[in-house]
Copies of this chain bind each other. A is one copy, B any other.
Amino acid sequence: MRDFSQDHRWLSINTATVRKSRGVELPLPEIIEACARRGIRAISPWRDQVAAAGLARVSQLVRSHGLELSGYCRGGMFPAVDTAGLQAARDDNRRAVDEAAELGAKCLVLVVGGLPGALQGKAAHKDIAHARAQVRDGIAELLEYAKNVGMPLAIEPLHPMYAADRACINTLEQALDVCEELDPARSGALGVALDVYHVWWDPKLQQQIARAGGERLLAFHVCDWLTPTADLLNDRGMMGDGVIDIPRIRGWVEAQGFAGYSEVEIFSTANWWQRPHDEVLDTCIARHRTVV
CB of B160 within 8 A of CB of A227, answer no
Q: Would you call A183 an interface residue if the criterion is a C-beta within 8 Å of the partner chain's C-beta atoms?
A: no
* Complex interface: chain B residues within 8 A of A243 (CB): 115, 118, 123, 126, 128, 164
CB of A121 within 8 A of CB of B228, answer yes
A158 to chain B, nearest CB (A): 10
Question: How many chain-A residues does the 8 Å CB contact rule pick out?
Answer: 33
State the main secondary structure of chain A at its contact with B: loop
Q: Which listed residue (B159, B174, B227, B244) contacts A119, Cβ 8 A?
A: B227
| A118-B227, A201-B163 as given contacts; A245 in contact with B171, CB under 8 Å | no
* Complex interface: chain B residues within 8 A of A202 (CB): 160, 170
CB of B232 within 8 A of CB of A160, answer no
CB neighbors of B among A169-222 (8 A)? 170-171, 174, 200-203
CB of A161 within 8 A of CB of B160, answer yes
CB neighbors of B among A125-171 (8 A)? 126-128, 132, 159-161, 163-165, 168, 170-171
A252 to chain B, nearest CB (A): 12
* Complex interface: chain B residues within 8 A of A225 (CB): 164
Q: Can you list 29 A-B contacts (CB < 8 A)?
A: A115-B227, A115-B243, A118-B227, A121-B228, A122-B227, A123-B227, A123-B243, A126-B244, A128-B200, A128-B243, A160-B160, A160-B201, A160-B202, A161-B161, A161-B229, A161-B232, A163-B200, A164-B201, A164-B225, A164-B227, A164-B242, A164-B243, A165-B227, A170-B202, A170-B203, A171-B203, A228-B232, A229-B232, A232-B232
Residues of A that sit less than 8 Å from B by CB: 115, 118-119, 121-123, 126-128, 132, 159-161, 163-165, 168, 170-171, 174, 200-203, 225, 227-229, 232, 242-245
